[in-house]
Homo-oligomer: A and B are copies of this chain.
């Protein structure tokens, strides 16, 4: 048993949740914030048997795309002209696989 803790952008969280349910992975989802755009994200916590880790990471990889998007907020690059659209990366996931000493359910 390992724990996967995955921080997932809001744009991708619902798609990931749907795929995890469909593929029979158990998880809990916590609201979180942070990152370059200060946009919301979700933190998924999953307990996964070692032989299923690659499958789980593949599900996350499929659901969570890093991709370009243009935003006009002057927050992103204050030195650019106000309102100039700038290209930023959105989506994606940051995943930690953690060792687990013991796992119990009541």
Residues of A within 8 A of B (CB): 1-3, 5, 7, 17, 26-35, 41, 43, 45, 47, 57, 60-61, 64-66, 92-106
Contacts and interface: CB of A to CB of B under 8 A. Distances in A.
Copies in the complex: 3
A70 to B, nearest CB: 21
B92 A97 contact: no
14 contacts: A2-B101, A3-B96, A5-B45, A28-B34, A29-B32, A43-B45, A47-B96, A92-B105, A95-B102, A95-B106, A96-B103, A97-B101, A97-B104, A99-B99
A32 B28 CA distance: 6
Nearest to A61: B106
